[in-house]
Amino acid sequence: MDHKKEVWGSRLGLILAMAGNSVGLGNFLRFPVQAVQNGGGTFIIPYLVCFLLMGIPLLWIEWSMGRFGGRRGHHSTPFILGSMHSGSLWKYVGVFGIFTNIAVAAYYCYIESWTLSYTFHSIRGTFTGLSQTEVAGYFNDYVSMGTNFFGIPNEAIFFFIICILINTYILSRGLAGIERVAKIGMPLLILFGGFLAIRGLSLGTTAASEEFPLANAWDGLNYLWTPQYESLLLPGVWLAAAGQIFFTLSVGMGTIHCYAAYMDSKDDIALNATSAGFTNEFVEVVLGSLIVVPIAAGYFGLDWVKENIGFGMAFQSMPFLFSQWGPVLAALAGIFWFGLLFFAGITSSLAMGTPWMGFMRDEYGWGQNKGALSFGFLTLCLGFPCVIFYQHGFFDQYDYWAGTVSLVIFALAETILFAWVFGIDKGWKEINDGADIKIPVIFKWVIKYITPLLLIFVFVGALFTPEGNNWVGAFNQIFSGQGWPLDHSSLVMQLSNSELKQNLSGAINADEIK
Ligand code: PHE
Ligand code: NA
């Protein structure tokens, strides 16, 4: 067994790998949807506040926990958390940081595989000459059951397997493999995104035609970026903003600890973590808001975007809109767009594999090949239900539990561990050890009080989300003695309802009848 300390090849490699970990499908598929659904400009202030008071502090916490554990030879959250306090409880909390990754990787890799397939079809010109309805229909068929002999979406499964093989191969090359992908993928992603953004902003019609209404790309941008202060009083918007910050920065999952565990023990955290975090925010708020929304608004108008936004728009509308640019530019734009998504996706899914591999190596001495293969296998097995039940709501439920709820719980636990159990004085010292910049001391206070309070607020909010996310109405109702109207999506309701089971059994029956 080879237990010599594995470390990142260079500082640039570390930052790019960390930025690649954060920059993902969430920046391009999730952010615009969250922003539009939460009122555009109303979303942006809570979002930025959550970034500053929760996101950045959590990055510092996770980076320094990771480096702390790495110094002691640990590379996954059970042991990293365990090394910060003698109680065995924390080790078990750390287990979240392995399983959440595998659970999220399962559907994340599935979506990643769509981007692979769509890149391929853009090159082939599959979407040339199709109408909007046909392009949307193509996607629906792609993820549908029962369109062929085996009754499973063959092509989707084919690309899913290819995608997992690619991930497995790169993971088997260790940190060097991840670093190389990040060094190639991140610059390309920014280049591709820049091209699409600039092209997008020049879009608009001067008069309504038969096919398109009077539309302008800038309407989309203005809608996203005109701050609306009344949103500060809407807890629902805050919850959505907090959830997006978690997902997009990859905090609360264990991947950041794991990457940081492979740093040199005296490497800077303050500047590196901040740079990686801001890179993610640049890609998210700049590139993430300059592509789907403006391009769609440039053709169909803002109202259409507001009504139809969803993460499928990236697949159901973009290829059609690109085809307005003529066959050559359309192919190029398709390659840029889906290629960008693929690079964003793979640098994140690789990150999700490392905690499992680190754990199996530290605990059982598994080598890289065995670690990577077992991760690929687990992801494939867990991914299958996502493939098969995609259209029956399984996906959303799964994303909610694995990709939202457990992140918040884990982040809350680790913040308490760091600031209160390990102790903020020691913690602050860890963050600033070897630092290349001086973090304002006020953040010591933020980490101790504000971050955990915000986290508790988010968690309690998720537990008790009222009907229709209408908090003002719910408070009025409870004060007038009518009780609190719980929404179906609230955690409390989720814990007690069997809607998912019904959906699933309904789905299975429907398939049998066919
Ligand atoms: N941050 C990634 C995104 O924006 C998702 C992710 C979450 C990656 C957790 C790794 C760990 O898509
Ligand atoms: Na992200």
Q: Which of 35, 34, 41, 37 lies closest to 228 in space, CA to CA?
A: 41
Please tell me the distance between residue 23's alpha carbon and the centre of ligand 1 in angstroms.
7
Which residue CA neighbors atom 6 of ligand 1 most closely?
250
What angle is formed at CA 248 by the lines to CA 164 and CA 221, rounded to 5 degrees? 115
DSSP 8-state assignment for residue 497: -
Quickly count: other Cβ atoms within 10 Å of residue 352's Cβ.
Answer: 29
The pLDDT assigned to 498 comes to 47
Per-10-residue mean pLDDT of the chain, 514 residues long, equals 73 97 96 90 92 97 98 96 92 94 94 97 94 94 70 84 98 97 97 94 79 84 86 79 93 97 95 97 95 92 90 92 93 97 98 98 96 98 83 71 84 97 98 96 98 90 76 79 76 61 49 39
The pLDDT assigned to 510 comes to 45
Helices 174-201/11-22 angle, 10° precision: 60
DSSP 8-state assignment for residue 485: -
Please tell me the distance between residue 26's alpha carbon and the centre of ligand 2 in angstroms.
5
* Token pair in block for residue 406: 């457990």
Per-residue HEC secondary structure of 46-96 comes to HHHHHHHHHHHHHHHHHHHHHHHHHHCCCCCHHHHHHCCCCCCHHHHHHHH
pTM of the model: 0.91
Number of the ligand 1 atom closest to the C-alpha atom of 344: 12
Number of the ligand 1 atom closest to the C-alpha atom of 255: 11
b/e map of 94-123 (b: 16 or more CB within 10 Å)? bbbbbebbbbbbbbbbbbbbbbbbbbbbbe
Question: Is the C-beta atom of 348 inside 6 A of ligand 1?
Answer: yes
105, HSE (Cβ side, Cα atoms, 13 Å):
33
pLDDT tens profile 439-487: 999 999 999 999 999 999 888 887 777 777 777 788 788 788 888 788 7
The pLDDT assigned to 512 comes to 41
* Token pair in block for residue 47: 């979002």
Which residue CA neighbors atom 9 of ligand 1 most closely?
250
pLDDT tens profile 151-191: 667 899 999 999 999 999 999 999 999 999 999 999 999 99
Number of the ligand 1 atom closest to the C-alpha atom of 407: 9
Q: Are 72 and 324 in contact (CB under 8 A)?
A: no
Measured between alpha carbons, how far is 96 from 252 in angstroms, rounded to an integer?
Answer: 9
Q: Are 27 and 288 in contact (CB under 8 A)?
A: yes
Strand-pair partners of 204: 216
Q: Which of 198, 314, 282, 230 lies closest to 41 in space, CA to CA?
A: 230
Ligand closest to CA 254: 1
Please tell me the distance between residue 282's alpha carbon and the centre of ligand 2 in angstroms.
10
Measured between alpha carbons, how far is 50 from 454 in angstroms, rounded to an integer?
Answer: 8
The pLDDT assigned to 146 comes to 61
Question: Is the C-beta atom of 248 inside 6 A of ligand 1?
Answer: yes
Question: Is the C-beta atom of 454 inside 6 A of ligand 1?
Answer: no
Please tell me the distance between residue 143's alpha carbon and the centre of ligand 2 in angstroms.
24
Question: Is the C-beta atom of 21 inside 6 A of ligand 1?
Answer: yes
* Token pair in block for residue 381: 């097995």
Measured between alpha carbons, how far is 66 from 77 in angstroms, rounded to an integer?
Answer: 8
Measured between alpha carbons, how far is 43 from 26 in angstroms, rounded to an integer?
Answer: 16
Measured between alpha carbons, how far is 27 from 363 in angstroms, rounded to an integer?
Answer: 34
Measured between alpha carbons, how far is 238 from 232 in angstroms, rounded to an integer?
Answer: 8
The pLDDT assigned to 39 comes to 87
CA trace torsion 263, 264, 266, 270 (10° rounding) = -20
Using CA atoms, how far residue 474 sits from 229, 464, 486, 494, in Å, is 21, 10, 9, 18
Pocket test for ligand 1, best of 171, 248, 280, 406 (most atoms within 8 A of CB): 248
Please tell me the distance between residue 310's alpha carbon and the centre of ligand 2 in angstroms.
17
Residue 495 burial (10 A CB sphere; 0-12, 13-18, 19+): exposed
Pocket test for ligand 1, best of 51, 99, 112, 247 (most atoms within 8 A of CB): 247
Per-residue HEC secondary structure of 333-365 comes to HHHHHHHHHHHHHHHHHHHHHHHHHHHHHHHHC
